[in-house]
Structure 1
């Protein structure tokens, strides 16, 4: 794909200086009608609360089990219900009893169908508070996912009476992690490089850890991480349990399974790779027309929250500036930002403080923000796997979503290839998009009535993480 060009920063006059991923300026909310004949604006001081009434079979086609059926501790059940998880999703129904039995699992399920709950619930159930060593490790490919998973584990386990959960990732103070591990830690949620460093320093003692989870296993077993993962496993006891979860399973996963898993219980809840709940369109444009097309989409779509993907960090910042210049609220995030700023942007966007987020593929893995109902590929991805994970940011836990791809002449062959690989149909964008394809029932929320915890934008149907 030819290198795309974008507007020079010198042309972006009148944009206030960004502050660590947050652009300040006039907030211009996106249009609230999906038709192409006029828009009605939502007042800039009000966000929206979504009550989703449309669910897909990915989360509704269950066996009718209840969380109580798995003989879980009463205190763990309290945490589960307080999360708003009323009944297990299909992946949780399949995983929880097998994981509780101690058997290895190879699970394939779509993004947003409850994978985090599928492994965290049995993992936390099996923690023995009488033992003061690391009993479980959850491996994830990104810092953001580590923070998200650790937060979920802390919330679910808060009534268990002392389960200690720790998140450790690269880009943070190593000394703080060393001091934390000097105290009791039962569960470690980590990125591979950091936990391996702590293991080799003799600080993180994992020789008694009975469970290792690999979330987004396809990424963890890519060339970037596989050597680290193999090294980490060499420090674990031979009788450990390994749980693998991902939406895609390339050859690397098959090789790893054959080498390290013992008669794994295989779960496949995916008839096809692409998410059924995502309506996919493409708009054929030149590079110079992309920003104008994006502006048109903002004015004509009913966006609750959107994530916009670019293929480089430079283009992320340039586009975020341009969006702000157009008058829309916008955050951005990429891997070259300092970790504390990335954490703040992620936290604020998740809490609904901004409607639009521009990012690189850093943000494609397992991030669960249910308010996102539109994903836009400003730059079209190069691989089917990346495309799948990008559009999976909308349609979380069975909610409907919309994916729009801006396609240049350089992307046309890649578009056809991804359609073929995913056995899906990406259609030309119509003159008017039926909002029932991606919009649930909304009502405005007055910030004065909000408790301030979610910026006035909160999904009342919590679902599973």
Structure 2
């Protein structure tokens, strides 16, 4: 074995075991290669500009430069852009600009595939609109009290941010009236138009006016998205900021290990890497809980989250992790869609995903909005086919790891979470 791989010998505990690692390193041009526009150039309300600048958004990113003026014109948009490049601002800014406070009905809907993403988008919307003087924003998702939502919709609501099942239930009950809703955003549209949601989405659209505006954002464009576009969108303005299915700013490695060596390898990674916050992915809810327990036993602060947990608990874990109360989070693919926690600089696939799309969304949790990130994949012999398949789809050049991982590849300006600050266990 070459000396370049010696640092991982301890990780698996066997000098005779053949460990191979690969990396891909990209630049951060996705969020820095702009036309030089300013938010003031879009003739936005002064009060909305105040909210934008208070969010810390100084200049529009490329996807925002492309989206904002077109969305303000009322035209449909089909946008392909990487995660972490400012997609939420690309649609929330024109959406909020176009809200008419004199009208007391639902004027815009944002559809997202997960409850966590709905809560995150509602928080961003509320912050952006806090100076607009009365824009009413409501998040509605499964797993929450239906009666509370019904009572809330009895009052004025201008913007609804929702998961498909819950909003369709409210529409069918006659509580959420969307017959005058002029704008619908579909974030993570590839997921919303997958078999899990596509029937629900078709139902929701059937209740909306025919001249509504649809803004569709996705990192990948499977056949389902193309079918939806041809059926429901009117000559959409197409934005493609992804020439390939890779994520810039993220350095990726993989290591061959046996199943029983994974925890020991993870322990070594924790001791060797400079982690601000990390997300660790497993392929099942049972493995999430077991791994979180192991990590806690190793002495590291750790939360966990998965779809079978009560929604109230999921909300608390997400909120606390986002606020830096814990360094490590173990989860299933529930957490791959659009969740924006900029302090996350390391993603570890404890279980390797089965397809390129899932892989793309998982590693996209690091390297948010131009910051650098590191993705490490633990590969067993059973994962070799998936690894080769993903490598082919992403057109990656696999090379050996250097003798040590250069911290400049993944350590951003965020301060690490203090271990003593994150002692609470999930």
TM-score (norm 2): 0.91
Over residues 41-80 of structure 1, what are the superposed CA-to-partner deviations in whole Å (9 max), with x where a residue is unaligned? Answer: xxx9999999999981111100000000000000000000
Distance 1:442 1:371, change over 3 A: closer
CA contact (8 A) 1:283 1:429 kept: no
Aligned partners of 2:115, 2:5: CA distance in 1, in Å?
30
Distance 1:444 1:401, change over 3 A: closer
Distance 1:259 1:289, change over 3 A: same
Aligned partners of 2:167, 2:145: CA distance in 1, in Å?
13
CA contact (8 A) 1:329 1:356 kept: yes
* Superposition deviation, residue 440 in structure 1: 2.6
Which segment drifts farther, 258-267 or 426-435? 426-435
Which segment drifts farther, 214-223 or 276-285? 276-285
* Superposition deviation, residue 396 in structure 1: 0.2
Q: Secondary structure of 1:116's partner?
A: helix
CA contact (8 A) 2:108 2:182 kept: yes
Q: Secondary structure of 1:402's partner?
A: strand
* Superposition deviation, residue 431 in structure 1: 3.7
Distance 1:46 1:150, change over 3 A: farther
CA contact (8 A) 1:50 1:443 kept: no
Aligned partners of 2:21, 2:262: CA distance in 1, in Å?
30
Structure 2: 5+ residue runs without aligned partners?
Answer: 7-15
Distance 1:348 1:68, change over 3 A: same
Q: Secondary structure of 1:426's partner?
A: coil
Distance 1:98 1:376, change over 3 A: same
CA contact (8 A) 2:4 2:402 kept: no
* Superposition deviation, residue 442 in structure 1: 5.6
Which segment drifts farther, 434-443 or 407-416? 434-443
Q: Secondary structure of 2:131's partner?
A: coil
| Selected match of 1:103 from 55, 75, 79 | 75
Which segment drifts farther, 430-439 or 48-57? 48-57
Aligned partners of 1:198, 1:304: CA distance in 2, in Å?
41
Structure 1: 5+ residue runs without aligned partners?
Answer: 7-43, 446-450, 457-464
Aligned partners of 1:426, 1:241: CA distance in 2, in Å?
43
Over residues 318-350 of structure 1, what are the superposed CA-to-partner deviations in whole Å (9 max), with x where a residue is unaligned? Answer: 000000000000000000000000000000000
Aligned partners of 2:84, 2:17: CA distance in 1, in Å?
30
CA root-mean-square deviation: 6.1
Aligned partners of 1:2, 1:441: CA distance in 2, in Å?
33
CA contact (8 A) 1:54 1:400 kept: no
* Superposition deviation, residue 432 in structure 1: 1.1
Aligned partners of 2:25, 2:306: CA distance in 1, in Å?
33
Over residues 216-262 of structure 1, what are the superposed CA-to-partner deviations in whole Å (9 max), with x where a residue is unaligned? Answer: 00000000000000000000001100000010010100000000000
CA contact (8 A) 1:313 1:334 kept: yes
Distance 1:177 1:364, change over 3 A: same
CA contact (8 A) 1:132 1:186 kept: yes
CA contact (8 A) 2:83 2:368 kept: yes
Distance 1:49 1:314, change over 3 A: closer
* Superposition deviation, residue 429 in structure 1: 4.3
Aligned partners of 1:4, 1:359: CA distance in 2, in Å?
31
Over residues 120-150 of structure 1, what are the superposed CA-to-partner deviations in whole Å (9 max), with x where a residue is unaligned? Answer: 0000000000000000000000000000000
Instruction: Tell me the matched-pair count.
Output: 415
CA contact (8 A) 1:170 1:191 kept: yes
CA contact (8 A) 1:123 1:136 kept: yes
| Selected match of 2:419 from 440, 448, 452 | 452
* Superposition deviation, residue 274 in structure 1: 1.0
TM-score (norm 1): 0.84
| Selected match of 1:282 from 218, 238, 254 | 254
Aligned partners of 2:296, 2:229: CA distance in 1, in Å?
47
Distance 1:425 1:2, change over 3 A: closer
* Superposition deviation, residue 304 in structure 1: 0.5
Over residues 161-196 of structure 1, what are the superposed CA-to-partner deviations in whole Å (9 max), with x where a residue is unaligned? Answer: 000000000010000000000000000000000000
| Selected match of 1:152 from 124, 129, 153 | 124
CA contact (8 A) 2:24 2:252 kept: no
CA contact (8 A) 1:394 1:400 kept: yes
Structure having the higher helix fraction is 2
Over residues 9-37 of structure 1, what are the superposed CA-to-partner deviations in whole Å (9 max), with x where a residue is unaligned? Answer: xxxxxxxxxxxxxxxxxxxxxxxxxxxxx
Aligned to 1:350: 322
CA contact (8 A) 1:46 1:444 kept: no
Aligned to 1:207: 179
Aligned partners of 1:48, 1:84: CA distance in 2, in Å?
41
Higher relative contact order (CA 8 A, sep 6+): 1
Aligned partners of 1:365, 1:347: CA distance in 2, in Å?
16
CA contact (8 A) 1:107 1:267 kept: yes
Distance 1:248 1:52, change over 3 A: closer
Aligned partners of 2:361, 2:211: CA distance in 1, in Å?
33
CA contact (8 A) 1:104 1:242 kept: yes
Distance 1:361 1:272, change over 3 A: same
Q: Secondary structure of 1:193's partner?
A: helix
Distance 1:435 1:453, change over 3 A: closer
* Superposition deviation, residue 427 in structure 1: 4.4
Q: Secondary structure of 1:427's partner?
A: coil
* Superposition deviation, residue 276 in structure 1: 1.7
